[in-house]
């Protein structure tokens, strides 16, 4: 059952347009994370565009609002992003 009907265009970009993704493994991890969250919150993903330095997602909210989804995943995401950025900085 869909509780929210908002269609959202989400864009993510780092400060100074620095790269988010450095190699294919980074892209694959991101796509797997989207798939996991899609199954959990049942949002509909209409499209996505992933570039090295930014991401676009077009989706309709599912059983969780985006705010609830991000709040739930916030701590996990912070840890994953920090780990990811530390790996990039070591290169």
pLDDT tens by residue, 15-46: 888 888 888 988 898 888 888 888 888 889 99
Q: Mind listing the domains of the chain with CATH numbers?
A: 7-90 (3.30.70.1290)
- Residue 17: the pLDDT is 84
Where on the phi/psi map is residue 86: left (φ > 0), alpha (ψ -120 to 50), or beta? alpha
Contact between 59 and 43 under an 8 Å Cβ cutoff? The reply is: yes
Percent of the chain scored above 90 by pLDDT?
9
- Residue 2: the pLDDT is 47
74 has pLDDT over 70: no
- Residue 12: the pLDDT is 84
Q: How many helices (H) and strands (E) does the chain have?
A: 2, 3
Distance CA 54, CA 14 (A): 7
- Residue 1: the pLDDT is 46
């Amino acid at each position: 059952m869909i509780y929210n009907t908002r269609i959202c265009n989400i864009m993510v970009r780092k400060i100074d347009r620095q790269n988010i993704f450095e190699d294919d493994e980074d892209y694959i991890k991101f796509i797997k994370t989207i798939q996991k969250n899609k199954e959990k919150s049942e949002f509909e993903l209409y499209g996505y565009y992933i570039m090295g330095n930014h991401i676009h997602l077009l989706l309709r909210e599912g059983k969780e609002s985006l705010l609830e989804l991000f709040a739930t995943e916030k701590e996990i995401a912070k840890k994953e992003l920090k780990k990811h950025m530390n790996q990039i900085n070591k290169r």
